[in-house]
Amino acid sequence: MNINKRLDRVKQWAGEKIGAESKTSVSDEFRSLETEMQLRHDGMDKMHKSTTAYIKSLSKRNEGDDREKVLPVARLGQTFANHGDDFEPDSEFGNCLIAMGRTNERIARVQETYTAHATTGWLESLERSLVQMKEYQAARKKLEGRRLAYDASLSKMQKAKKEDFRSEEELRSQKAKYEESSEDVFRRMQDIKEAEEDSVADLGAFLDAELEYYDRCRDELLRLKRDWPAAQKPTRANRSRSNTAHSYKERYAAHDDPIP
């Protein structure tokens, strides 16, 4: 772009800002779609950030005493099982610790599978949507540049004191470019709306993965509960502190010598 055309665009933009120059308007449908695109972009961006943080929290690994990085729930299971091995084979407490530890290690593997599905499914779906939105925004920026160029040419020709063939030719060229970009932007906005069907399918797959994750975790815990090594014993009732203090006082009061 030569310097004169660039200056024409700047003058047109400045004139519009102060109300000295007219601006080519778009249809109500086009304007409504632009508003919708902004809302969609803001929402997609926030969902992408929150989903990324969610998956990161589930997949974050910590380093233990053995320098191996594992999920916190896996580390929990390892410490339980390792301490359970410190007891005799017939120790009820030791066997309970081992069973609890092995269950949490299996839950860690379930969690790894879930985060992998969430990453390749819903997170990548959001990223594709953001790429599509970024391409739309680039096209929208290009349209605005061509709109300024078209309006600048139109204003220039209207202010000319005599007919100028070159100005008319430039106006036709700028108008054609503007209309081409306008159609491209409109098509991209329609494509984004139509991509909603894919997003619904990806969101449904994310729901299925989340349900499977919690179901499998629950199944592991129910199996642990069913095969719990400790004998099921009734819970021993706790005596209150006041009753304990009262009985202690009575017991020792009974051995005190009577006062003469």
State residue 22's pLDDT score.
59
- 32's enclosing H/E stretch is helix 28-59
- Which domains occur in the chain, in start order? 63-227 (1.20.1270.60)
Name the token pair of 221: 């815990």
CA–CA gap between residue 188 and residue 181 (Å, rounded): 11
Concatenated DSSP letters of 48-117: HHHHHHHHHHHH--EE-TTS-EE-HHHHHHHHHHHHHTTS-TT-HHHHHHHHHHHHHHHHHHHHHHHHHH
Q: What is the DSSP letter of 195?
A: T
- Indicate whether this model's pTM tops 0.75: yes
Closest by CA to 196, choosing from 44, 28, 34, 77, is 44
Q: What is the mean pLDDT of residues 135-160?
A: 88
Q: How far apart are CA 99 and CA 96, in angstroms?
A: 5
Task: Label residue 93 by pLDDT band (50, 70, 90).
Answer: very high
- Report how far residue 20's alpha carbon sits from residue 24's, in angstroms, rounded to the nearest whole number: 13
Sign of CA dihedral 156, 158, 161, 167: positive
- Name which of 29-38, 49-58, 107-116, 227-236 the model is least confident about: 227-236
Give pLDDT tens digits for 63-77: 877 788 999 999 999
Provide the CB-side half-sphere exposure for 57 (13 A, CA): 6
- Cα 90 to Cα 98, 224, 225, 227: the distances in Å are 12, 18, 19, 15
Conformational region of residue 194, where left means phi above 0, alpha means psi within -120 to 50, and beta covers everything else? alpha
pLDDT tens for each residue of 198-256: 999 999 999 999 999 999 999 999 999 999 998 765 555 554 444 444 444 454 454 55
* Average pLDDT of the segment spanning 137-151: 92
